[in-house]
């Protein structure tokens, strides 16, 4: 198991290199010059040249790329063109806000999604099932920023019970979390329902009933545990997205200073080191979440775990045999 994790972590390196290259390429060819933006329209050509040289932007593409990668190897994500602070520091000060959104959004999705999914599957075609499936369909189809705007209209403008934007206390996080949770819950509910419907029809569920197991245990221990693999996959993708893509929109709508909003602002200002830093940071998080899900599989499904363990046992036995 440990070997597997180390192998996966090493495999992260080429993935990150690829991501760095592609984003660097995109930023290099993106229109708009940060130097121009920094100095304003009244700057002279001499000033522009000086700053371009200072920021290292007069080097060739490969020159810039390799000096950036060289910095990365020393865990130096560069400094922001505008604030002149280290990108890593900028990211880490904003990271807690994103984490709060992602974790609670995910938690809300899981709670609502799995419970309604299980009930809908057990009571297939009931009124509950029909209503829940319909709502879930709306939930997955609705863009989260649009839902965010509707929530702002209802709770902030009409009812005036929640603040519309900013991050000055727990109340400010309620709407963003609901906004993220609805979409996730709908996704998880649909997956839970369909995989549960599949597992409930399995023969071993009938076996469990025949053993005299209570209906609750049959559903929770025999059916849900078997359905969990696909549900966890969806939750993993969802959580990875929440840490990156989804929160970008949500943070922008609710003006919460997280990584997502930072990324959008940095793109607007063509602040290349910040954009690079954010994207790389998100890529690392996403990969780690995926790795976490894969490790989780082995705990959920003993078959996967026994595969790892048997593989290492067989290898050891083979080594022993060849040495004797």
* Nearest-approach distance from CB 3 to other proteins, in angstroms: 22
| Token pair belonging to 221 | 């221990």
* Nearest-approach distance from CB 219 to other proteins, in angstroms: 13
Closer Cβ to other proteins, 53 or 211, answer by number: 211
Q: Measure the N-to-C terminal CA separation of the chain; round to a whole number of Å.
A: 26
Closer Cβ to other proteins, 53 or 206, answer by number: 206
Residues lying near other proteins in the complex (CB under 8 A):
202-204, 206-213, 222, 225-226, 301-303, 306
Closer Cβ to other proteins, 146 or 204, answer by number: 204
Q: Judge contact between 121 and 231, C-beta under 8 A.
A: no
For residue 75, the number of C-alpha atoms closer than 13 Å in the C-beta half-sphere is 2
Per-residue burial over 38-72, b = 16 or more CB atoms within 10 Å of its CB, e = otherwise = beeeeeeeeeeeebbeebeeeeeeeebbeebeebb
Q: Judge contact between 263 and 279, C-beta under 8 A.
A: yes
* Nearest-approach distance from CB 295 to other proteins, in angstroms: 17
Closer Cβ to other proteins, 53 or 303, answer by number: 303
* Nearest-approach distance from CB 306 to other proteins, in angstroms: 6
Closer Cβ to other proteins, 1 or 25, answer by number: 1
Q: Judge contact between 166 and 232, C-beta under 8 A.
A: no
């Amino acid at each position: 198991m440990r070997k597997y994790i180390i192998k996966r972590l090493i495999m992260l390196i080429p993935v990150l290199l690829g991501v760095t290259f592609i984003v660097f390429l995109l930023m290099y060819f993106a229109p708009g010059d940060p130097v121009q933006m920094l100095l304003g329209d009244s700057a002279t050509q001499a000033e522009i040249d000086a700053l371009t040289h200072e920021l290292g932007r007069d080097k060739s593409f490969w020159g810039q790329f390799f000096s950036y990668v060289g910095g990365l190897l020393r865990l130096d994500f560069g400094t922001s063109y505008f604030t002149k602070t280290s990108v890593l520091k900028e990211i880490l000060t904003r990271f807690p806000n994103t984490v709060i959104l992602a974790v609670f959004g995910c938690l809300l999705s899981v709670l609502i999604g799995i419970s309604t999914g299980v009930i809908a599957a057990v009571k297939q075609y009931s009124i509950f099932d029909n209503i829940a499936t319909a709502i879930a369909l709306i939930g997955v189809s609705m863009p989260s920023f649009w839902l965010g705007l509707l929530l702002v209209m209802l709770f902030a403008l009409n009812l005036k019970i929640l603040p519309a934007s900013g991050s000055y206390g727990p109340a400010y996080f309620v709407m963003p979390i609901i906004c993220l949770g609805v979409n996730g819950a709908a996704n998880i509910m649909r997956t839970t329902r369909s995989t549960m419907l599949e597992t409930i029809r399995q023969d071993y569920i009938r076996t469990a009933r025949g053993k005299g197991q209570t209906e609750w245990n049959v559903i929770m221990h025999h059916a849900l545990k078997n359905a969990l693999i696909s549900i966890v996959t969806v939750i993993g993708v969802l959580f990875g997205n929440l840490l990156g893509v989804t929160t970008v929109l949500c943070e922008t709508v609710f003006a919460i200073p997280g990584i997502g909003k930072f990324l959008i602002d940095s793109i607007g200002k063509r602040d290349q080191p910040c954009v690079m830093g954010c994207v790389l940071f998100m890529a690392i998080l996403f990969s780690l979440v995926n790795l976490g899900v894969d490790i989780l599989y082995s705990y959920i499904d003993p078959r996967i775990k026994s595969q790892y363990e048997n593989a290492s046992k067989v290898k050891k036995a083979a080594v022993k045999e060849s040495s004797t």
